[in-house]
Amino acid sequence: MKEIFVRLDRCVGCRSCELACAVEHSRSKNLFEAISETPRPRRRLYVEYVLGRKMPFLCRHCEDAPCVRACRTGALTQDPLTRIVTHNPDKCIGCWMCTMVCPYGVIGREWERRIALKCDRCPGREIPACVEACPTKALVFMEQEEFARLARLEAAEEVAKSYRIAG
């Protein structure tokens, strides 16, 4: 299964992912109309700025998701196959147990209905909206093995360069 991975060194902090996420979760799916919709379309991922670095944070859809275990009403469920954690707004009572246990703080709040709000991995889209919107390809959508290999090759290239200099 593909996951959304972040290449942290590539984020320039443009927040295009946040806008695209909110637009994707609007009724019109069009920026110019979405900005005047009620309830206001909300982003489900967050570009934070810590220690001089820009860090896009979004739901990891953890293998053993603490939010699903903490949810008392069954609003949060995890697909046994894809491991995507889905939120059912009709079952949510806004108790915020999920928020308390999420290690990354990526569960938001829809103010109008007082319920939780989180990444749904854009059902119906081949590529999630945030990934598609990222101009520097800091966000990528790929298999874990593929991403690990990408990181491995980048690291290997650095090692190879120093090896050549040393040799």
Q: From the CB of 19, what's the least distance to other proteins, in Å? A: 4
3-state secondary structure 128-156: CHHHHHCCCCCEEEEEHHHHHHHHHHHHH
Of 37-45, 70-78, 80-88, 94-102, the window that binds other proteins (rule: CB under 8 A) is: 37-45
Binding mask of the shown chain, residues 4 to 23, with x at each position contacting other proteins by CB under 8 A = ----------xxx-xxx-xx
Of 2-10, 27-35, 49-57, 88-96, the window that binds other proteins (rule: CB under 8 A) is: 27-35
CB 33 within 8 A of CB 26: yes
> Bridge-partner residues for 4, per DSSP?
141
Binding mask of the shown chain, residues 102 to 141, with x at each position contacting other proteins by CB under 8 A = ------------------------------xx-x------
Task: Give residue for tokens 């079952």.
Answer: 91
Q: Left, alpha or beta for 40 (phi > 0: left; psi -120 to 50: alpha)?
A: beta
Q: How far apart are CA 43 and CA 115, in angstroms?
A: 14
When asked if residue 70 is in the footprint of other proteins (CB under 8 A), the reply is no
Residues near other proteins (CB under 8 A) are 14-16, 18-20, 22-23, 31-32, 34-36, 40-43, 132-133, 135
